[in-house]
Structure 1
Amino acid sequence: MSFEKPAVVIDSGSFNIKAGFACDNHPVSMFRTLVGRPNFLKGGYGREYYDVYIGDEAAAEVMDLEVNHPVVRGNIENWDNMEMIWHHLFYRELKVAPEDRAVILACGATSTMEEKIKCCEIFFETLNCPALCIQSQPVLSMYGSGTTTGICVDIGYDTTDIVPIFEGGMVKYAHLQTGIAGFQISKYLKKTLEERDLLKNNLSLEVIEDIKKQYLYATTNCAMSINKKIYKLPSGEEIDVSNETFMGAEFIFQPDLLDDNGKKCVSLHDAVITATLKCDAELRLELYNAIVTCGGMATVPGINERLQMEIQDNIKKSVTILTSTEPYAVAWLGGATFAGLSDAKSLWIQKKQFEDYGEKIIKNKFM
């Protein structure tokens, strides 16, 4: 399906939302999936005028705001706030009118049909988009890596999804979640630094996320000495985070080390192997030859090498991990690629079709 103007590609993640135009090779806008309102209102919205903070503005004022994450574990839970974020995205970030642009929307691996129907209602009835295509993030991540068959290993902020993909379709019965993601690691960092009384008055989500982003690393040799890591707090004080940054990534491969209130978690490599074994035997070799790592936590140095080593040690066969310099944007890039495929034209819904057929066409297109 051809459009007069490049389609808008939106990947609404639990931590960040990525958006841009299908003609580009990188998202134009990326900001926190966050909405904040003044906490002095205490939920009494609508009684007086107040400012609503969206994205990074909300993150910067988090101590003075009542914040909400509309996307939780890949699913949209607060539709009013999500609609505000999309509106902000078009008019303030991309600076385009939604009625002029077709949209490709990346949804979570566990997204329900009800969620897809609600997305269509907002994009067609509220934003007046001319056409919409909804595809799962794991499928688009495979397109973004140049293949249509493999295993998507999406290590996000609050969920890690292992999803086998066969010829552009999810093998849903083989989908697994490990129970360990960026949120659990952030929680561990915060807890240990608080116990050591290192954060003091500088405790904030941004400090924790900055430590995680800058210093976390995975190693292929757990017996090696821990690399010394020093972090400079906003106050100027320097703290030693060597042990925390080593253990943070180690939990992904040894979840038993993490005390998370008895929650049962699975190591990343075990989840990949189990998901593969759930698929047909003749498909497994092809899956192992295209393991795609993506999501914010996939940026951790050494994580791909460690994952490859652990899988190969267990199955006694070589595997191939398709890496990217920007794994957090792989699903978005896949959406941009998908928008240009002539074979994908049958998967778009036009506004006129939605008005004529409603939920029926959504179920036919986006099952």
Structure 2
Amino acid sequence: MLFDKPAVVIDNGSYSIKAGFACDNHPVSIFRTLVGRPSYLNGSYGNKYYDVHVGDDAIREIDLDLNHPVVKGSIAHWDDMERVWHHVFYKELKVAPEERGVILACGTNSTIDEKVKCCEVFFETFNAPTMCIQSQSVLAMYGSGTTTGICVDIGHDTTDVAPIFEGKMITYAHINTGLAGSQIENYLEKCLAERNLLNEFKSSIDIENIKKSCLYITKNGAMPIKNYIRNYKLPSGEKIDVSNEAFMAGELIFQPDIVKGEKTSFIPLHEAIVTASLKCDTEIRKQMYESIVPCGGLSMVPGINKRLQVELECSISSPFNILSSSEQYAISWLGGATFAGLSETKKIWVQKKQFEDYGQRIVRNKFF
């Protein structure tokens, strides 16, 4: 370990924040990336005292305006993001930020300006002694035990396919498929609305819960007779049949045009992987195929890795290997914990004194 005390590892997800210590093998805390303020304020946050709710507390409370600080992998609302980080240190981890190094996992599309701003917040507001900012895709490779491969990050509002070579992302080969968890939810909502179920059970149906509990993907794209039925249980105990919706929503990841019945801008997952690999130099393509790493919340959908195996076998003549894990949803965080403990990464960290002396120049040099 590079520090007297284990570093804090924070994975900034659009859907959820994962936070913990580099000495652990699992995040201490996972909570929704949400900030809620009383709706009666109507967006006017004056000098009067009011409670601000962060994370899962914001969901449980009523009459709140909810804000998502991270949108499509980038920080969109800095004041709220700062509140989330404050919540991480003082409420979830219960540690003083000035006593801990911080490794921050940012989105694949994170700009250098965003990284500079992150350093400003952590060094000037939280007084952190040192920090390192790395892409979630890069850290996912470390979390899978390698530094070269293709990261397939299937998240809430972005799906990023990013080739990584020796711990660096090949940015020109990065592909966003345009389809992620939020688009799946929109499709489910549309289908249920067409059956008039949303009007009938408006306050009882949780689209997000249907996605989590009912969605599945078959190996060959055929609807199975056995175990085909998918029922969603309402709070009242009544069940509704969502078999067709659950099957078709899963197929959307691999056959978006067929499912939607029209030409879409979505890129099928397996095609995105092939295209990203073809953008890389021929000499390193074989190494890329040796470690295809699915991660993110939607990568936990039952059957997705088996289907990906079948689709890639039809598209790639070279041997390839999909690295599966029971903790694909947290693999970027696990990679951050691994990264923090490697002595060879010490030169990549930025010290507070360095930031005070050189400003954004040191950030641009180390986190380009």
Q: TM-score, normalised by structure 1?
A: 0.96
Q: How does 1:242-281 map to 2 (within 5 A)?
A: 242-259=243-260, 263-281=264-282
Distance 2:309 2:345 in 1: 32
- Which amino acid in structure 2 is aligned with residue 362 of structure 1? V
Aligned-pair CA distance for 1:243: 0.8
Determine the structure 1 residue equivalent to 2:29. Answer: 29
- Which amino acid in structure 1 is aligned with residue 319 of structure 2? S
Residue pair 1:202, 1:234 contacting (<8 A) in 2 also: no
Unaligned runs of 5+ in 1: none
Deviates more, 1:81-90 or 1:224-233: 224-233
Q: How does 1:1-367 map to 2 (within 5 A)?
A: 2-61=2-61, 64-200=63-199, 203=202, 207-225=206-224, 227-259=228-260, 263-367=264-368
- Which amino acid in structure 2 is aligned with residue 60 of structure 1? R
- Which amino acid in structure 1 is aligned with residue 310 of structure 2? M
Distance 1:161 1:203 in 2: 33
| Structure 2 CA distance for partners of 1:251 and 1:27, relative to 1, 3 Å | same
Count of aligned pairs: 366
| Structure 2 CA distance for partners of 1:205 and 1:318, relative to 1, 3 Å | farther
Distance 1:117 1:205 in 2: 44
Distance 2:6 2:322 in 1: 31
Unaligned runs of 5+ in 2: none
1:17-48, Cα deviation, whole Å (9 max, x unpaired): 00000000000000000011111211121153
| Structure 2 CA distance for partners of 1:362 and 1:16, relative to 1, 3 Å | same
SS in 2 for 1:40: helix
1:165-185, Cα deviation, whole Å (9 max, x unpaired): 001000000000101100000
Residue pair 1:157, 1:183 contacting (<8 A) in 2 also: yes
Aligned-pair CA distance for 1:357: 1.0
Q: TM-score, normalised by structure 2?
A: 0.96
Aligned-pair CA distance for 1:60: 2.2
Aligned-pair CA distance for 1:198: 2.2
| Structure 2 CA distance for partners of 1:285 and 1:203, relative to 1, 3 Å | farther
SS in 1 for 2:104: strand
- Which amino acid in structure 2 is aligned with residue 326 of structure 1? E
Distance 1:110 1:155 in 2: 14
Aligned-pair CA distance for 1:190: 1.5
Distance 2:133 2:202 in 1: 38
1:127-179, Cα deviation, whole Å (9 max, x unpaired): 11110000000000000000010000000000000000001000000000101
Aligned-pair CA distance for 1:259: 4.2
Displaced runs of 4 or more, over 3 A: 199-206, 257-263
Residue pair 1:145, 1:334 contacting (<8 A) in 2 also: yes
Distance 1:324 1:244 in 2: 27
Residue pair 1:34, 1:68 contacting (<8 A) in 2 also: yes
Cα RMSD after superposing both structures? 1.7
| Structure 2 CA distance for partners of 1:203 and 1:92, relative to 1, 3 Å | farther
